[in-house]
Amino acid sequence: METMKRTTNCGALRRADEGKTVILNGWVHRKRDHGGISFINLRDRYGITQVVVDSDAPAELAALIAELRNEFCIALEGTVRSRPDSMVNPEMATGEIEVVAKKLVILNRSEVLPFQIDEESEVKEELRLTYRYLDLRSAGMQRRIKLRNEVSFAVREWMIGQGFYEIETPTFIKSTPEGARDYLVPSRLYPGKFYALPQSPQLYKQILMVAGFDKYFQIARCYRDEDARGDRQPEFTQIDIEMSFVNRDDILSMTEGLMGHIFKKTLGQELPPRFKRLSYEEAMERYGSDKPDLRFDMPMQDFGPYVAEGSFQAFKDALAAGEADKAAAAARGISLAGGGVKVLVVPGKADYSRKQIEELEAQAKIYRAKGLAWMKVAGTETESILEGGIAKFFGDRAQKITAGLGAKPGDLLLLVADSQRKIANVALGSVRSKLGRDLGLNGPGPDGVPRFEFAWIVDFPLFEFNDQENRWEAAHHMFSWPQDKYHATLEQDPGSVKGDLYDLVLNGYELASGSIRIHDSELQKRIFKIVGLDPLEAEQKFGFLTEAFKYGAPPHGGIAPGLDRLVMLMAGETSIKEVIAFPKNSFAVSPMDDCPGEVDQKQLDELHLAVVLPPRTE
Amino acid sequence: METMKRTTNCGALRRADEGKTVILNGWVHRKRDHGGISFINLRDRYGITQVVVDSDAPAELAALIAELRNEFCIALEGTVRSRPDSMVNPEMATGEIEVVAKKLVILNRSEVLPFQIDEESEVKEELRLTYRYLDLRSAGMQRRIKLRNEVSFAVREWMIGQGFYEIETPTFIKSTPEGARDYLVPSRLYPGKFYALPQSPQLYKQILMVAGFDKYFQIARCYRDEDARGDRQPEFTQIDIEMSFVNRDDILSMTEGLMGHIFKKTLGQELPPRFKRLSYEEAMERYGSDKPDLRFDMPMQDFGPYVAEGSFQAFKDALAAGEADKAAAAARGISLAGGGVKVLVVPGKADYSRKQIEELEAQAKIYRAKGLAWMKVAGTETESILEGGIAKFFGDRAQKITAGLGAKPGDLLLLVADSQRKIANVALGSVRSKLGRDLGLNGPGPDGVPRFEFAWIVDFPLFEFNDQENRWEAAHHMFSWPQDKYHATLEQDPGSVKGDLYDLVLNGYELASGSIRIHDSELQKRIFKIVGLDPLEAEQKFGFLTEAFKYGAPPHGGIAPGLDRLVMLMAGETSIKEVIAFPKNSFAVSPMDDCPGEVDQKQLDELHLAVVLPPRTE
């Protein structure tokens, strides 16, 4: 191979370089001929430089130029010259100059491309993933992978600066019953035994606190064998963090500092030094979600106080049924919230058509609402009128209701009632989210800069009652610290217990989850017991953690922001596949290398395994 | 839990803090009572502070103090006071002060320890790994995990500064036939199909070059299912690096810059800006190893020229047999090196006893030497005499031989002859290594500072002949670039072909391996053919790489230093387990969490697998 090593890159040359002889290496991005002159846009990671082959170029060079097609990889020697003012391209960093070609070596040819580079949005995902090496050449993928790299480094820079150690935890661990399904790795040396891949380094980071490392982090690969759904990947990356001798607020402010550094360093955006904090209950009551998009407010309100004054029987029935369920549950020692009627005031949307409202109702029904009631506000600010929908049941209370809700003439009221308050909240909350998207309330600010609205959700319930299995289960996971005031009465009313858990929410996505952990073996055993985990099984599965806690475990807690999702949101994308170099498709398959795939029988034999194919269904 | 959050840590207080009231959190490292006064050494990650409980302490405090045992985790409030000059401990950073205890909270008790912290060297490895959370509390493990963290960050800091992107490659890939055994992960969604875990990100980093990322690195976890042997771990970490548009020397100087930064930043040691370079052949001829320990020289020399002049038939026979084999192989188109007689001059060790020499011979025999011949140099520098061993066969040539070898009176000559030159080299090379250890030639410098002797081994042969299978195979791997001058004649004499491969060697360990890769599909196919990889199989297994190379792949190359081994050597350790937080034992088992372990039948069913236990042997 004739070597013509680059002396500079395709993004570096400026007018000041005029007259220099340079060698560039890169790819033919575009080539066009114009009156006997060839123009080649030569591309590498650093930029694009225009190369000109004059009409009087030597025959040998001209012949090579004629061969060039898009994405040929070439080495090119030439002289830098300024473009005439009229030809300067202000959109290219190198737009003031061009390179007059003198010599060319074709380093590698390219076959006809399955799609043009930089047309990613036009190309089907499956094709993009099959030819990921071409897809990754696009400006968008190059920019996003670069951003991911910058975010990862900003994380490390800040964490190390704060005295954290990055410590690698094992990928081969013991299978535990916690959370989703484990991916397993059969052991060849121990027939019938398996390693599991970690769903997160949870137990190991707690062990590191027991070991006295005080401040740990790791950008860690995690694995969950879940059914293909939405944007899930078999493997994903989280910024795993744990600290000793801290309380909840220490973790929160550390995370605020980390996010502030990342956004400042990579996007040049200032975040507020402290993020909003909402209790789980507040978030559910106001936004019907524990991950509300706060780029707009438009909160839900309680319509309950007006129900008795009106004459709409369905609302009254929902509340009465809720009260009955609550009383029945109370008799079994379980606290329920009762029923609820929630209302959303949509400013200025009294002009919504019946069809538009029906679309919103369909959204509400996905989340188990029985229907979406509505009224429109008319009249004046001091003498409002309710019209349409269920207005007739509340007509004589219009002014009181609109004043109470802060609704103005021209506003649309949307209502959901249910005997389970949570259903009313979640269903109407999903209507709020849809409206946010439909009305563009979640777009960039007036200056066109994307908005990043962080919030903390705190005070989560520690336990949820599983109706099907008729038992309490951990709402989050079993190692979270019940807030101190509930310790005495844990077993008496598990449903009321709040934990020191917290979620970090960004633009409607859950970005991070964390908690203060239980460091006390006795308290941990009580939790295991409440969720019905047999002490023997707990010992067998988590034995090494409970064992470790016998030797002076410190109080500790942590959090784990998802790196894929963080970078996705920063890049303004809606799929994590856009920020992963080699993602699997939505069916956990990599079309590029066709994996998962068959393996040799010899490999199975060595692993002491036989495949048991499921019966074929016709 | 009563919270008494620390106001400072156990390594921070100095005489200037006198009089301050502080709260410390940490572990009871040692406790002793002396004349009614209790002294507690309180430890955290940052250091140790002496706490004093005066004899007039309140009864409540005294009672709690009496409860304390080693490794109790406590919070302690007290006042800083200077120690009297006679009590200052210059070996502790906090040795000028002590904290007079006022208040104590026991955060967590500790059971009796299975071993004392900081007695790691006394404790059996299995016990250390079972209670790794206690073992990790030792000063040594704390220091090494900290160093590993610092080395990792120094790597990233330097690579990012040089314009590299850290890009995450997948853990779930397709199983390939290259190298060692793959670990497999059964797919639940696709019965009978498997993901493999990467032995390295090799194919993906090359794909990233095809994708135009130009400079890639990743601190990457790798997996090899090898038989338990020596210091192997199922998973290990490498600093994976790849660059486009570069030649061998670019990779070498980049690596020298990286190592220089790491050593300067973490150990404060200056490395030479360029490392020694030895060809593979030189390394084998001088040191009998492609990873020589160059903390001492003591090279082997060729004794061949003296064989004909002497009368030792065994040497003559070895060379003659070598010549015969060489001629026979040449007739089959295979080049062999012939036989060899190598000699090691051991300065000043003519006093070695027969027993000592027999030990060295045993070492040589491990590497297939038929024996270890010896002679001692006596007489004077101008009239030397050879004595003992095989001296009688060379007696009349003593002066010529010793002058030629640079041997002086008092030196010991050790010799190995074999019809295969490589056996003579390797066997005598292993004697050289043993002597290096026995004589302490590999110790620290005169100033006590550990010495780090780097060297590059270059110009490796590309192919090795596999006698058993009667075919050529890749000496390293199949994607390495044959040096340009051999391209025309690859198939005619594979044995003579040198590749652009390079190893980085440190203190007798292979620290990194790399090569310039083949970016040309046609050349790659020729290599596949020479090693007898069926084109169809190659296409099936590496299809996506050869496919990718059709679209303008750039020239590229890379290297991959092992992080575990690098940190091990920097820490002065001889096992990578000492620099991994949670290693497996030598049998690929983690005694702490007892993995690999059994899994539920349900998990196997979901994975469409049955375990086929091997027949029991009595």
Which residues, including other chains, have CB under 8 Å from residue B593's CB and lie 6 or more apart? A173, A174, A203, A543, A544
Count other C-beta atoms under 10 Å from residue B297's C-beta.
11
Q: In the numeric block, which tokens belong to residue B230?
A: 């020596």
Instruction: Kindly provide the b/e burial profile for residues A473-489, where b requires at least 16 CB atoms within 10 angstroms of the residue's own CB.
Output: ebbbbbbbbbbeebeee
At residue B303, the 3 state secondary structure works out as coil
Domain boundaries, chain A: 15-108, 124-271+555-618, 296-438
In this prediction, residues A93-106 reach a mean pLDDT of 96
Enter the tokens of residue A562.
């998802």
For residue B609, give the 3-state DSSP assignment: strand
A2: pLDDT strictly greater than 60: no
CB distance A213–B45 less than 8 Å? yes
Torsion of the alpha carbons at A33, A36, A37 and A41, rounded to the nearest 10: 20
Q: Which residue did the predictor score with more confidence, A231 or B115?
A: B115
Q: At A186, is the secondary structure helix, strand, or coil?
A: strand
Question: pLDDT of B456-472, one tens digit each?
Answer: 999 999 998 888 888 89
Instruction: Determine the CATH number of domain A124-271+555-618.
Output: 3.30.930.10
A582 and B170: CB-CB below 8 Å? yes
Look up residue B110 and give its DSSP letter: B
Q: Say yes or no to pLDDT of B120 above 70.
A: no
Strands B235-244 and A300-302, by their bridges, are unpaired
A346 φ/ψ angles, rounded to the nearest 5 degrees: -105, 105
Task: Name beta bridge partners: A463.
Answer: A474
Any binding-site annotation on B563? yes
| CB neighbour list of residue B234: distance below 8 Å, 6 or more residues apart | A172, A195, B183, B223, B224, B225, B584, B588
User: Which amino acid would we find at residue B177?
Assistant: P
Residue B189 scores a pLDDT above 90:
yes
Laid out side by side, the sheet with B300-302 consists of B300-302, B340-346, B412-418, B373-379, B384-387
Minimum-distance CB partner of B581 among A110, A208, A587 = A208
Question: Is residue B564 annotated as involved in ligand binding?
Answer: yes
Tell me if A247 and B595 make a contact (CB, 8 A cut-off): no
Task: Please give the mean pLDDT across all residues of chain A.
Answer: 93
Alpha-carbon distance A286 to A428, whole Å? Answer: 10
What is the Cα–Cα distance from A483 to A497, expressed in whole angstroms?
8
CA distance B517 to B503: 15
Per-residue pLDDT at B543 exceeds 80: no
Provide the CATH topology of domain A15-108: OB fold (Dihydrolipoamide Acetyltransferase, E2P) (2.40.50)
Alpha-carbon dihedral sign for residues A178, A181, A182, A188: positive
For domain A296-438, give the CATH number.
3.30.1360.30
pLDDT of residue B178: 63
User: Which tokens sit at A29?
Assistant: 């991005």
Could you identify the residue written with the tokens 């979406």? A372
Say if the Cβ atoms of B593 and A169 lie within 8 Å. no
Chain A partners within 8 Å of B237 (Cβ):
168
Compute how many other C-beta atoms are within 10 angstroms of the C-beta atom of residue A590. Answer: 23
Residue contact B551–A71, C-beta within 8 A:
yes
A504: pLDDT confidence band, cut at 50, 70 and 90?
very high
CB of B415 closer than 8 Å to CB of B428? yes
Residue B521: partners with Cβ closer than 8 Å, 6 or more residues away: B546, B549, B550
Nearest to B603 among A109, A184, A597 (CB): A184
In CATH, the architecture of B296-441 is 2-Layer Sandwich (3.30)
User: What does the pLDDT look like over A577-605, one tens digit per residue?
Assistant: 999 999 999 999 999 988 999 998 999 99
B276-279/B454-458 β-pairing: parallel
Q: How far apart are alpha carbons A148 and A568 in whole angstroms?
A: 9
Which candidate, A330, A283, A307, A217, places its Cα nearest to that of A510?
A: A283
CB-based contact, A76 to chain B, within 8 Å: no
Q: Quick check: bond before B444 cis, omega within 30?
A: no
Question: How far, CA to CA in Å, does A97 sit from each of A17, A26, A53, A121?
Answer: 9, 17, 14, 31
Virtual torsion, Cα B249, B252, B256, B258, nearest 10 deg: 120
Distance (Å) from the alpha carbon of A43 to chain B's nearest alpha carbon: 9
Peptide bond into B596 cis (omega under 30): yes
Mean pLDDT, range B23-52, rounded to an integer: 95
- E strands present in B117-265: 165-166, 184-186, 194-196, 215-223, 235-244
Residues 243-262 of B with CB under 8 A from A: 244-247
Q: From CA A487, how far away is CA A527, in angstroms rounded?
A: 11
Cα of A119 to nearest chain B Cα, Å: 15
Choose the closest CB to B156 out of A5, A6, A156: A156
Please give the single-letter amino acid code of residue B366. Answer: I
CA A218, CA A166: separation in Å to the nearest integer?
5
CB contact under 8 A, A187 and B107: no
- What is the CB neighbour count within 10 angstroms for residue A534? 11
Would you call B242 exposed, middle or buried from its count of C-beta atoms within 10 A (0-12, 13-18, 19+)? buried
3-state secondary structure of B574: coil
Given a cut of 80, whether residue B119 has pLDDT beyond it is: no
Determine the Cα angle at B441 with ends B568 and B406, to 5°. 140
pLDDT tens figures, A406-416 = 999 999 999 99
Residue B437, SS3? helix
Instruction: For residue A530, give the 3-state DSSP assignment.
Output: helix
Per-residue model confidence (pLDDT) at position A73: 97
Provide the pLDDT for residue B2.
Answer: 55
pLDDT score for A462: 94
pLDDT band at B438 (very low <50, low <70, confident <90, very high): very high
Please indicate if the annotation marks B520 as binding a ligand: no
Structure tokens at A175: 């299978």
Asked whether residue A543 carries a pLDDT value surpassing 80, the answer given is: no
Q: Which residue of B has its CA nearest to A182?
A: B603
* Residues of B whose CB is below 8 A from A178: none
The answer to whether the beta carbons of residues A596 and B187 sit under 8 Å apart is yes
Q: What is the pLDDT of residue A618?
A: 53
A chain contacts of residue B191, beta-carbon cutoff 8 Å: 611-614
* Half-sphere exposure of residue B464: CA atoms within 13 angstroms, side-chain side: 10
B197-231 in b/e form (b: 16+ CB < 10 A) is: bbbbbbbbbbbbbbbbbbbbbbbbbbbbbbeeeee
What class is the B123-271+563-618 domain? Answer: alpha beta
Residue-averaged pLDDT of chain B: 93
Q: What is the dihedral of CA A317, A318, A323, A324, to 10 degrees?
A: 70
- 510-549 in chain B: CB under 8 A from chain A: 519-520, 543-544, 548-549
ipTM attached to this prediction: 0.94
Q: Find the distance separating the first CA and the last CA of chain A, reported in whole Å.
A: 56
Concatenated DSSP letters of B222-244 = EE------TT--SEEEEEEEEEE
Selection from A139, A114, A142, A144 nearest residue A129 by Cα: A114
- The verdict on whether residue B368 carries a ligand-binding annotation is no
Hey, are the CB atoms on B136 and A166 less than 8 Å from each other? no
Residues 41-70 of A with CB under 8 A from B: 43-46
Query: b/e map of B304-313 (b: 16 or more CB within 10 Å)?
Result: bebbeebebe
pLDDT at B490 over 60: yes
Q: Do A595 and B173 touch (CB under 8 A)?
A: yes
Residues 377-436 of A with CB under 8 A from B: none
Cβ A596–B520 below 8 Å, yes or no? no
Asked if B447 and B310 count as a contact pair (C-beta separation under 8 A), the reply is no
pLDDT digits (tens, 9 = 90+) for B290-325: 999 999 999 999 999 999 988 999 999 999 999 999
Confidence of residue B539 (pLDDT cuts 50, 70, 90): confident
- Residue of A131, A145, A597 with shortest CB distance to B167: A145
Question: Best mutation site among A8, A172, A182, A253 for testing chain B: the one with the most B CBs within 10 Å?
Answer: A172
**Helix boundaries (H) for B332-447:** 354-366, 398-405, 421-438
CA distances from A264 to A154, A269, A473, B155 (A): 10, 5, 40, 23
> Residue A238, SS3?
strand
**Pick from A108, A131, A599: CB nearest B520:** A108
Tell whether B466 lies on the interface with A, counting CB pairs under 8 A.
Answer: no
Tracing tokens 């005598």 back to the chain, one arrives at B428
Which range has the worst mean pLDDT, A318-332, A549-563, B409-423? Answer: A318-332
For residue A552, give both structure tokens: 């002076």
B154 touches chain A (CB under 8 A): no
A120 labelled binding-site residue: no
| Closest Cα in chain B to A547 | B131
Q: Is the pLDDT of residue A442 over 80?
A: yes
